[in-house]
């Protein structure tokens, strides 16, 4: 393992649900080996209340979460990223800033739970589904770094 935590940036358009969940989950699951960040191309400026709800119900810290523009991470003093993941199809199709250090990039398309209309129960189910999908992907992603294969 490298001498520093791996920095991972999760991008979405609004940075209010999926990318925020990914940031919080990675910081929780990745312990001291990963540092998660999130941003949006057109950040809404606030975290969706159901994002906070699903994270809190799963005992994931939410205190420091905030919606932010990806411009915040395109400055010379921003963290250098090892990995950059887009989690929504719109952000994956946009022209992203150039991230220093040539990070590994990938697209993890997830349905937007914030776009679900319907009953409060249907909306909650959408957030639960997004949380579970991100949780599963992140556990697979970090597994080789947390529990490396024996020599």
Q: Are 69 and 91 in contact (CB under 8 A)?
A: no
The string of pLDDT tens digits covering residues 27-51 is 999 988 999 999 998 999 999 999 9
Indicate if the pLDDT at residue 52 is higher than 70.
yes
Instruction: Provide the terminal-to-terminal Cα distance of the chain, rounded to the nearest Å.
Output: 14
Mean of per-residue pLDDT scores for the chain: 90
Instruction: Determine the structural domain holding residue 41 and report its residue range.
Output: 6-146
Work out the average pLDDT over 47-71.
96
In a domain, 27, yes or no: yes
Confidence bin at 1 (pLDDT 50/70/90): very low
Per the structure, how many domains does the chain have? 1
- Whether residue 78 contacts residue 63, with contact meaning beta carbons closer than 8 Å, is answered with no
Percent of the chain surpassing pLDDT 90: 70
Cα–Cα distance, 111 to 140 (Å, whole number): 19
Is residue 151 situated within a structural domain? no
- Tokens, residue 57: 């119900």
Do the domain assignments include residue 44? yes
Rounded to an integer, what distance in angstroms lies between the CA atom of residue 47 and that of residue 49?
6
pLDDT score of 60: 97
Q: What is the pLDDT of residues 93-140, one digit of tens each?
A: 666 666 777 799 888 989 999 999 999 999 999 999 999 999 999 999
In a domain, 12, yes or no: yes
Give Cα 12 to chain centroid, integer Å.
Answer: 8
Q: Decide if pLDDT at 92 tops 60.
A: no
Active site residue ranges: 12, 88, 96
For residues 130 and 137, give the distance between their C-alpha atoms in angstroms, rounded to a whole number: 11
Q: Provide the pLDDT for residue 55.
A: 98
Instruction: Output the domain CATH number for residue 66.
Output: 3.40.50.2300
Higher pLDDT, residue 74 or 83: 83
Whether 1 is covered by a domain: the verdict is no
Q: Which pLDDT score, from 0 to 100, does residue 99 have?
A: 73
Give CA angle at 22 (18, 27), nearest 5°: 155
In a domain, residue 69? The reply is: yes
Q: Are 8 and 34 in contact (CB under 8 A)?
A: yes
75 or 61: which carries more pLDDT confidence?
61
> Which residues neighbour 31 within 8 Å (Cβ) at sequence distance 6 or greater?
146
């Amino acid at each position: 393992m490298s001498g520093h935590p791996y920095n991972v940036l999760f991008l979405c358009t609004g940075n209010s649900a999926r990318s925020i969940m990914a940031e919080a989950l990675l910081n929780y699951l990745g312990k001291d080996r990963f540092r998660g960040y999130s941003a949006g191309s057109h950040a809404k400026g606030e975290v969706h209340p159901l994002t906070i709800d699903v994270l809190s119900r799963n005992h994931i810290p939410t205190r420091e979460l905030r919606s932010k523009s990806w411009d915040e991470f395109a400055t010379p003093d921003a963290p250098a990223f090892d990995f950059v993941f887009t989690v929504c199809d719109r952000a994956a199709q946009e022209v992203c800033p150039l991230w220093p250090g040539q990070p590994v990039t990938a697209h993890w398309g997830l349905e937007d739970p914030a776009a679900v209309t319907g009953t409060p129960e249907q909306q909650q189910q959408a957030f639960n589904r997004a949380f579970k999908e991100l949780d599963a992907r992140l556990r697979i992603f970090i597994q080789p770094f947390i529990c490396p294969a024996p020599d």
